[in-house]
Amino acid sequence: MFNTRKPGLSVRTAAAALALSTGLTLAGCGGMPSNRSLYSVHQPVVERVNYTLDVASGSGGLSYSEQRRLDGWFDAMDLKYGDKVYIDDPLNAGSTRDAVETLASRHGILVESGPAPTTAGYVAAGTSRVVITRHKASVPSCPDWSARSDVNLGNATSSNYGCANNSNLAAMVANPEHLINGAEGTGETVVMSSTKAIDSYRKQAPSGSGGLTANNTGGGGN
């Protein structure tokens, strides 16, 4: 007898073909964007770095040579807005603090009144440690073109979305710490500040309130 059935695929062969086609489909979708929101995946990251300088000090404060060395260090560190300066002085001498405050004020920086942050090592006897705390902001992994742009079946946001804006923000912010806590207000609004000049002008006494001054404008005698 002859087999009259048409030749076909076995169950095992069909399963292998189905698995192969599924794998090819998933491979074609690999690397697609997965962020379904409008928020950037890469956000600015703020890190804190401490720089230290030990200066010879005593109950009489800093010598002139140590003040020059400290002033040169401030210049080399480009001490600027956003930096914080601390003093770790075992003697807690007021003269040492006065000297550091005078040098820091040349850069528009006030010395912090709180305790200095913990730094490596220890402060040797007869020295004081000046600490500069500086915050840096950056956006890691930007730019990010890892996700494909030609296949986006989920209508997701690009992996590079927001990299330009966030990188510019991290580079331009005057005090990177404000990205974490924001700037603290003084309780005074812009309107209150702008009206100070107007209030001062209004409170001034009129120029003619003292009356006219009599001047002798007569000519000479006959």
**CATH number of the domain residue 92 falls in:** 3.30.1330
Please indicate, yes or no, if residue 108 is contained in any of the structural domains.
Answer: yes
Helices 94-105/64-76 angle, 10° precision = 40
Please indicate, yes or no, if residue 214 is contained in any of the structural domains.
Answer: no
Q: Buried b vs exposed e over 64-73: b needs ≥16 C-beta within 10 Å?
A: eebbeebbeb
Who contacts 180 (Cβ-Cβ below 8 Å, separation ≥6)?
Answer: 46
Query: What local confidence, expressed as pLDDT, does residue 27 receive?
Result: 45
pLDDT beyond 90 at 105: yes
**pTM for this predicted structure:** 0.63
What pLDDT, in 10s, does the model give residues 113-130? 999 999 998 999 899 999
Work out how many domains the chain is built from and give that number. 1
58: containing domain: 48-135
Please indicate, yes or no, if residue 160 is contained in any of the structural domains.
Answer: no
Query: What local confidence, expressed as pLDDT, does residue 197 receive?
Result: 77
Please indicate, yes or no, if residue 68 is contained in any of the structural domains.
Answer: yes
User: Rounded mean pLDDT of 161-186?
Assistant: 89
Please indicate, yes or no, if residue 87 is contained in any of the structural domains.
Answer: yes
